[in-house]
Amino acid sequence: MKKVIIIGGGFAGLSAAVELSSAGFRVTLIEQRRFLGGRAFSFFDKNTGLELDNGQHILMGCYENTFRFLEKIGVTDKLYFQKDLCVDFLDTTGTAYRLSCLPLPAPLHILSGILRFKAISPSERIRMLNMAKGVLFSNATNSSHDLTITEWLKRLGQGEKARETLWDIITLATMNEHPDKSSAAIFRNVMKKAFFSLRRNSRIVLPVVPLSRLFAEAAEIYIKKNGGSIEKGIAVSALLTGNNSVSGVKLKDGRVFRGDYYISAVPYYSVQRLFAGTGFSGTAGFLGTELNSVPALQPSPIISIHLLFNTPLTEHTFVALLNSPIQWVFNKEKIFRDIAYRGLLSLVISGAHEYIDVPSEKLVEIALRELKKVIPATSTARLLSCKVIKERHATFSPQPGVDKFRPSQKTSIKNLFLAGDWTDTGLPATIEGAVLSGQKCAKAIVST
């Protein structure tokens, strides 16, 4: 039985481990933290006793690789699937709008939603239909490559109102970056897969349990049941190399693990440190071409603000906010269907560059101010507890031309593979991208 050593226990590493375990490989996964999940985990808040997510994650129906992974570890019953795409929008002027798609074949379903979306004028809605032509028929290498999303949308006749009201919110949700800094080529891939292929692909999917309970625990059980092992709370101190290949992984406690294949599933900002001293990562090294471009990747932050009130404030399960620095509000009692989370709202600021250094107390003030504009009951409710979580390196920033800095999962070292949402997947830094990268690594190993 061939052995695979995987470094990193996030979605990328775990999906690779599960895929390889099911294919008959003996897997050892090493995670330096004491828990699995990478940048998608939950923890118990000492003030409330509630299990909180480090950040709210929205999945979409097009996450086929993610659902395959979650189905394999037996947790798809812990997901809420919309029947058809439906999103409520609350304007800070107090007006509510709904983007609701009819049960029609794609792309007619999304066109039906746009044409009935009353947040913008009828003439602007008609112009929004140009997006279909741009997504389906434009050549990405000519019309959208190296353009920002804003530039691309302007070329497609999308006015400021349409961009601010819909496209910018979709951009921030899917890319975690502002449209004037994001790659139109990657965005076009997302739009085509999510909204212009199959109707079910555009549905929003939400975990109905905290993140660690969704996948980390079940993946660990699956790996161990299939003969694998997991080392948590210990860092890799060195990669052992020889004969142009990896021969082992040395841990900080001195133990050495050896395998036939190795997968690095660490974030882009850690990968060069992992390979330091191996001779692989220098300009003349075997991985020089792959890894020397990694420093060009820049981070894009996400801020999550958990607010616990003494009473429920809204009947919405989740809403998008218009004309607000807060993009999304999630009603955790409704999502988890658990009265223990009664009164808990989780707010999200994506692409949060201008807010990442704002003190947490000020961010709570901003959150309360914005909530009062859209949910008047906030004014009379009592705030019991608050928790601000800043993920400075939540994702890489998908800037125009960024794909040339993203390495393939296969490397010039025959037994070494790279996984992570930052590798070459054609997708932004999403759960789906992370899972896809791990499964690509597993497929490459199985086929060798």
Q: How far apart are CA 266 and CA 439, in angstroms?
A: 15
Predicted local distance difference test score (pLDDT) of residue 278: 74
Task: Kindly state the average pLDDT of the residues 167-195.
Answer: 95
**pLDDT tier at 140, thresholds 50, 70, 90:** very low
Enumerate domains of the chain plus CATH numbers. Answer: 3-40+210-297+399-446 (3.50.50.60), 97-199 (1.10.405.10), 299-396 (3.90.660.10)
Looking at residue 446, its pLDDT comes to 97
Mean pLDDT of 310-318: 97
| pLDDT(283) > 50 | no
Is 123 exposed, middle or buried, given 0-12, 13-18 or 19+ CB atoms closer than 10 A?
Answer: exposed
In the numeric block, which tokens belong to residue 312?
């429920």
pLDDT in tens, 80-101: 999 999 999 999 888 999 999 9
**What does pLDDT average to over the chain?**
93
pLDDT-derived band at 289 (thresholds 50, 70, 90) equals low
Q: What is the pLDDT of residues 7-47, one digit of tens each?
A: 999 999 999 999 999 999 999 999 999 999 999 999 999 99
Find the mean pLDDT for residues 244-255.
Answer: 94
Note the pLDDT tens digit of each residue in 326-374: 999 999 999 999 999 999 999 999 999 999 999 999 999 999 999 999 9
User: Do 234 and 240 contact (CB within 8 A), yes or no?
Assistant: no
Buried b or exposed e, range 194-221, using 16+ CB within 10 angstroms: bbbbbbbbbbbbbbbbbbbebbbbbbbe
The pLDDT tens digits of the residues spanning 102-133 come to: 999 999 999 999 999 999 999 999 998 888 88
% of the chain surpassing 70 pLDDT: 96
Whole-number pLDDT of residue 244: 84
pTM: 0.95
pLDDT tens digits, 358-417: 999 999 999 999 999 999 999 999 999 999 999 999 999 999 999 999 999 999 899 999
pLDDT for the residue numbered 295:
81
Residue 143 clears pLDDT 60, i.e. is over it: no
Mean pLDDT lowest for which of 88-92, 277-281, 443-447?
277-281
User: Six-digit token pair at 167?
Assistant: 């496209």
Higher pLDDT among residues 131 and 179, named by residue: 179
- pLDDT (0 to 100) of residue 227: 97
Give mean pLDDT, residues 139-147: 60
Q: Is the model's pLDDT at 155 over the cut of 50?
A: yes
Q: Which range, of 24-38, 167-181, 284-298, 338-352, averages the lowest pLDDT?
A: 284-298
Distance CA 414, CA 7 (A): 17
Beta strands 59-60 and 51-53 are unpaired
